[in-house]
């Protein structure tokens, strides 16, 4: 943990902190409804605008949250961040044994929007609950998948469509396990001798 109390990845750690992942997903485009008029903004990542009151526009998530904090816009959550779509995703994830595709930064985007613009989300508490359900179901499936891969007679490990946060969470365990395999299994150059 840093002096500010924010969790950090740690020196030499193969994982990123939650805050680092949220920073990375900040360039995800999201739709806002501006409450102000502003000409085009020229950002490092590209240009946005012009902004006109009540005319939807797509901007990076970090900018949407900044404008929201200043009362300059309303955020329109992505379609997948609705109660109906999350209920569908949870139901499908429960029904299927394999890991199903989700938006790559679904946990980070959901967390940032819920913390910075919950009032713009219909049924925000239900959305939060469904996101947690989805995360828990997927975490259990990923753990089972890792166990199945480790118990299979394979020389490598494959993953399905897991998200950035999910990948980040399992990376240390997978790397440690692969390192243990490396010490146990003979290398190709050892077999030649």
Reference 131, options 162, 101, 108, 164; nearest CA is: 108
pLDDT value at residue 87: 98
- 172-187 average pLDDT score: 67
Q: Determine the Cα–Cα distance for residues 160 and 98; give it in Å rounded to an integer.
A: 8
The pTM for the full model equals 0.81
pLDDT value at residue 5: 43
Percent of the chain scoring above 90 in pLDDT? 61
Instruction: Give first-to-last CA distance, the chain, whole Å.
Output: 47
Q: Which segment of 16-25, 56-65, 67-76, 112-121 scores lowest on mean pLDDT?
A: 16-25
Reference 96, options 138, 131, 133, 143; nearest CA is: 138
pLDDT value at residue 89: 97
pLDDT value at residue 169: 85
Q: Which segment of 15-19, 65-69, 75-79 scores lowest on mean pLDDT?
A: 15-19
Whether the per-residue pLDDT at 76 is higher than 70: the answer is: yes
Q: How confident is the model at residue 159 (pLDDT cuts 50, 70, 90)?
A: confident
pLDDT value at residue 16: 80
- 109-135 average pLDDT score: 97
- 69-96 average pLDDT score: 97
Q: What pLDDT, in 10s, does the model give residues 20-65?
A: 888 888 999 999 999 999 999 998 888 999 999 999 999 999 999 9
Task: Report cis status (omega within 30 of 0) of the bond before 188.
Answer: no
- 162-168 average pLDDT score: 90
What is the average pLDDT score of the chain? 85
Residue 190 sits at φ, ψ, to 5 deg, of -70, -30
């Amino acid at each position: 943990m840093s002096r500010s109390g924010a969790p950090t990845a740690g020196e030499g750690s193969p994982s990123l902190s939650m805050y680092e992942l949220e920073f990375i997903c900040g360039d995800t485009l999201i739709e806002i409804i501006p409450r102000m008029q502003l000409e085009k903004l020229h950002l490092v990542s590209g240009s946005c605008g012009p902004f006109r009151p009540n005319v939807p526009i797509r901007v990076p998530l970090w900018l949407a949250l900044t404008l929201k904090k200043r009362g300059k816009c309303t955020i329109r959550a992505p379609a997948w961040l609705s109660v109906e779509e999350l209920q569908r995703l949870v139901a499908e994830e429960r029904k299927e044994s394999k890991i199903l595709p989700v938006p790559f930064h679904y946990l980070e985007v959901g967390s940032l929007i819920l913390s910075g613009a919950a009032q713009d989300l219909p049924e925000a508490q239900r959305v939060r609950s469904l996101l947690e359900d989805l995360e828990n179901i997927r975490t259990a499936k990923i753990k089972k998948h890792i166990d199945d891969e480790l118990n299979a007679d394979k020389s490598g490990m494959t993953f399905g469509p897991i998200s950035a946060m999910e990948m980040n969470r399992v990376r240390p365990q997978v790397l440690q396990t692969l390192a243990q395999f490396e010490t146990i299994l003979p290398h190709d150059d050892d077999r030649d001798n």
